[in-house]
Amino acid sequence: MRRSLGCANAAAVAAFLGFVGAASPAYAIKQFYAGLQAKYVKPDSKEPNDIALDIAIEQARCTICHPGDDKHRLTRYGGLLASRISKFDKGNKKKVREALEEVGTLRSDPYDAKSPTYNELFRQGRLPPNPMR
């Protein structure tokens, strides 16, 4: 009796771990990503920096603001945006655009007065650095 109960518990734990392991990764809010693309991506441009940025944003996607698969962790850039907008603002394109514009004027390294702003990084075809806030 004990042995079959132990096997049942082991099977239940294995099934649970299988479901947890198969869970899809966390994704950021689509509207914020779309706002970022609308502000910085120029799909018809032939400029090398614009092409590089388009490719980088497409590859990085949500990890621009969220390192890895955890939507609750933020990069420094993501943290700056999160202090200005929340998930409740996802339908407010104007507020999202204003937050992107405001954060774009900030230095990518707050401890280095000579570091480029986020807008300058994007114009150079580069993404923000990915340190945690």
d(CA 109, CA 124): 16
- Could you tell me the pTM of the whole model? 0.74
Residue 2 lies in a domain: no
Residue 85 lies in a domain: yes
d(CA 64, CA 39): 14
Residues 39-78 have pLDDT tens digits of 999 999 999 999 999 999 999 998 999 987 777 899 999 9
Residue 9 lies in a domain: no
Domain count, the chain: 1
**Which residue carries 């806030």 as its tokens?**
133
**Which residue carries 């980088």 as its tokens?**
56
Domain that holds residue 118: 25-123
Residues 12-33 have pLDDT tens digits of 444 444 443 333 344 468 999 9
The three-state secondary structure class of 70 is coil
The token duo for 109 is 């390294």
Q: Directed axis angle between helix 48-60 and helix 30-40, to 10°?
A: 170
Residue 130 lies in a domain: no
